[in-house]
Amino acid sequence: MSDIKKVVLAYSGGLDTSVIVRWLQDTYNCEVVTFTADIGQGEEVEPARAKAEALGVKEIYIEDLREEFVRDYVFPMFRANTIYEGEYLLGTSIARPLIAKRLIDIANETGADAISHGATGKGNDQVRFELGAYALKPGVKVIAPWREWDLNSREKLLAYCDERNIPVEKKKGKSPYSMDANLLHISYEGINLEDPWAEAEEDMWRWSVSPEAAPDEPTYVELTYKKGDIVAIDGQDMKPHVVLETLNKLAGANGIGRLDIVENRYVGMKSRGCYETPGGTIMLRAHRAIESITLDREVAHLKDSIMPRYAEVIYNGYWWSPEREALQALIDQTQNYVNGTVRLKLYKGNVDVVGRKSEDSLFDEKIATFEEDQGAYDQKDAEGFIKLNALRLRIAAGKGRKL
């Protein structure tokens, strides 16, 4: 273990990572560099500095990554209308490649020998952090304490803190839900949620009111798109992270964005989790709406066909992979004409598209109308079209084949 002299740790300042700092110092006799990222989790990150200093950490990185997170990770993902297993908007998954990237950047800057994280051996995050790290620095050493130590309960972690005078906040009774938050979402796992039959308690939710408690009058909002990304809300230009912050508030106030699912983790088990993704729910609905009038039919169908694969790539931790980059290049190319405005009605948990317009629209009123079209479309052409497309069916039926 003497070859490890310095380790960069993804550090939140909470119980687990505070223990990890001291455990790394004790177990590897190494210097620890802490990295704390502000990706919009809604809590102050600066207090992590004092906590790290109290543990003897000399090199402390605390960074505001909100803009980079939304611009370079969330927006590219939403250009694909990405959802995992038909429901999950990948709020946790999409944050991990950015954190992995900065861990490696800081390791290079500080001359560290290894990186470390607080993800458990049961979850997806260990995979995401480490696949990203190895893709960006093939020879990096990764230390995952949860796969090495025997501190496998909150009680053991607290006892470790007492033995080594680690200052942490101690909470009596049951531990809270296991939560992960960033600008895109907040997730909840554990306690009663481990029973897939048990309904989530109302006071668990942090970012949204219940649909029943939402206002009795709808809220209307207009989103302006340029090349597949939202650039303005109600005509006001905004940076990407401000767009998401604003939509989170609008959606949450209208009871939008709650999700309760059982998903298939990459490590093999099923896991029940609850998620709040208020702004993302609006973004998904609105992006599909603007694409509906600006994308060619076959391009739109091609995007839909590759989306599940793209979602799996992100969920499983392969953001920094050649297949994700290839898929992203195709997706981004399709967005050149995805420009215009979408009008939405937000009401008691629902997001309704009530208008869409674009100078790049492929919707032709002269052809689509049910009224007189002045010869724009010859309805007689449909007869030959139908017969040609029915030819293989007629041949098979004529041979007496049954379905």
Q: What separation in angstroms does the CA of 158 have from each of 26, 47, 152, 166, 190?
A: 16, 20, 11, 9, 19
Q: Choosing from 96, 128, 258, 356, which is the catalytic residue?
A: 96
CA–CA separation, 237 and 234 (whole Å): 9
Q: What separation in angstroms does the CA of 324 have from each of 88, 130, 258, 263, 307?
A: 18, 16, 28, 21, 11
Nearest Cα to Cα of residue 274 among 351, 202, 173:
202
Q: Are 257 and 208 spatial neighbours (Cβ–Cβ below 8 Å)?
A: yes
Sign of CA dihedral 241, 242, 247, 252: positive
Active-site residue flag, 178:
yes
> What single-letter amino acid sits at 21?
V
Q: Choosing from 49, 105, 154, 178, which is the catalytic residue?
A: 178
Q: Biggest alpha carbon distance in the chain?
A: 86
Active-site residue flag, 153:
no
Q: What separation in angstroms does the CA of 121 have from each of 49, 143, 165, 281?
A: 27, 12, 26, 30
Q: Choosing from 12, 16, 93, 258, which is the catalytic residue?
A: 16
Active-site residue flag, 229:
no
Q: Choosing from 66, 125, 229, 258, which is the catalytic residue?
A: 125
Sign of CA dihedral 351, 353, 354, 359: positive
Nearest Cα to Cα of residue 257 among 231, 277, 241, 273:
277
Active-site residue flag, 96:
yes
Nearest Cα to Cα of residue 77 among 265, 244, 262:
244
Angle at 318 between CA 107 and CA 68, to 5 degrees: 60
CA–CA separation, 69 and 58 (whole Å): 27
Q: Are 82 and 54 spatial neighbours (Cβ–Cβ below 8 Å)?
A: no
Give catalytic residues, as residue numbers.
Answer: 16, 96, 125, 178
